Chains A and B, each alone.
Chain A
């Protein structure tokens, strides 16, 4: 099912990419790609590896600038937003989450100027992690724990949109299922969740809708 056709109205709650094109080093990465991620739903972005899923997600929080096209957050062009504010509102969890130096708490509260006393614990709970994790050295965590801390780190910024780039690629089935359940709960709480994956089983279990806006550009 395509993410949207031209008759579909713009979403006012969530994030939307319109007709993005991007070429890098003479290679076309995105060709006329559109995507809608509505609030309150998990949208699965299904495409094979190398189809440009990561690049598309990074266009949504301006880590990558498309050559043409537009991205709207809650109906507003993201170019009108201060990039640092945009990236807090549109959280990104990378495929291989990099832990910054220090504890889990340092990671979760990184670049938050005046955190509330329980902000780290709350974010850890939202990512289904024991708050006791807060004092663990972040770089000593396992892959599954890192994925959850990366999720908590994004959630601590109280984002409106959560983008996940193959979040379960390095995890076993149980850990992947638990991450999927957490995403389901977050979407039920009103978050717009976009799950880029090639894991059809995970997508079937978690996603409300499937977006297949990406064509592999030869």
Chain B
């Protein structure tokens, strides 16, 4: 049997093992596990085929990155939909820092300007920015509601709206960056990140895999910080009303 076939059989074997264990132990997870495994197989097959096409027709790389950004904005925006224009705002907060970072990395020649390098890098940075924007945005919206009394107290005592909202914004950004900071801090100790594993499996030396991984990780840190800052500013702009008022979304 070829190595390719063995990989598929082994993957199916792991899925069947998990499903069988869940069934035997009556965990009530049998259907959910089987469905998740099936979805992953179909999604990855389709994405693999599309990416193969993207690697052959370079102009499709732009469309693919645009589709990733759109999906990220829809996903994150859906979680913030109490705020008017959430998807538009989150698209800016994810797209601007992630694409700027990819552009910079290509410009200085850190990666080859090929779809093989640019598409995965854009994917990782857009994904990180989406996580930061979603968590920051959710925490901010919750904070506006939970801390409405404190915000009103500050306004009543003579703060302008932006000053009154600063503590809530700061707490939201801090929470939004926790995954990025933890991931960076624990890299190599708790998990081996995907880029590193992929490069090593693909035949790169551990040293060059570690170098690329470090570059991606540190770029992610900056991208996620800016994504959190931008979504914070854009969401606050949606709730600050004329006359130094704050209109809490419900």
Chain A positions near chain B (C-beta within 8 angstroms): 25, 61-65, 79, 83-85, 87-88, 91-92, 94, 96-98, 100, 110-112, 153-154, 157
Contact = CB atoms under 8 A, between A and B. Distances in A.
Q: Which 8 A-B pairs have the closest CB atoms?
A: A83-B244, A98-B149, A111-B158, A98-B153, A92-B156, A98-B150, A88-B158, A84-B158
A111 B243 contact: no
Given A84-B159, A87-B158, A157-B158, A65 B243 contact: yes
B156 A65 contact: no
B153 A84 contact: no
Interface residues on B, range: 10 to 19
A157 B152 contact: no
Contacts of A96: 149
B245 interface: yes
B155 interface: yes
A157 B153 CA distance: 13
Interface string B218-250: 000000000000000000000001111100001
Contacts of B163: 111
Contacts of B155: 63, 87
B79 interface: no
Interface of B: 149-150, 152-160, 163, 241-245, 250
B157 A63 contact: no
B160 to A, nearest CB: 6
A83 B156 contact: no
B150 A100 contact: yes
B245 A64 contact: yes
A94 B156 contact: yes
A65 B245 contact: yes
A65 B160 CA distance: 16
A121 to B, nearest CB: 18
29 contacts: A25-B250, A62-B244, A62-B245, A63-B152, A63-B155, A63-B156, A65-B242, A79-B243, A83-B160, A83-B244, A84-B158, A84-B159, A88-B158, A94-B149, A94-B152, A96-B149, A97-B153, A98-B150, A98-B152, A98-B153, A100-B150, A110-B157, A111-B154, A111-B157, A111-B163, A112-B158, A153-B157, A157-B157, A157-B158
A190 B177 CA distance: 52
A7 B242 CA distance: 33
Nearest to B161: A83
A100 B164 CA distance: 11
A65 B157 CA distance: 18
A62 B157 contact: no
Contacts of B250: 25
B159 to A, nearest CB: 5
A146 to B, nearest CB: 11
Contacts of B153: 94, 97-98, 100
Contacts of B245: 62-65, 83
Nearest to A101: B167
A163 to B, nearest CB: 9
A61 B158 CA distance: 11
Contacts of B157: 87-88, 110-111, 153, 157
Given A100-B154, A154-B156, 13 more contacts: A61-B156, A62-B243, A63-B152, A63-B245, A83-B245, A84-B244, A85-B158, A94-B149, A94-B152, A100-B153, A111-B154, A111-B157, A157-B158
Residue of A79, A87, A112 most packed against chain B (CB within 10 A): A87
A39 to B, nearest CB: 20
B155 to A, nearest CB: 6
B149 A84 contact: no
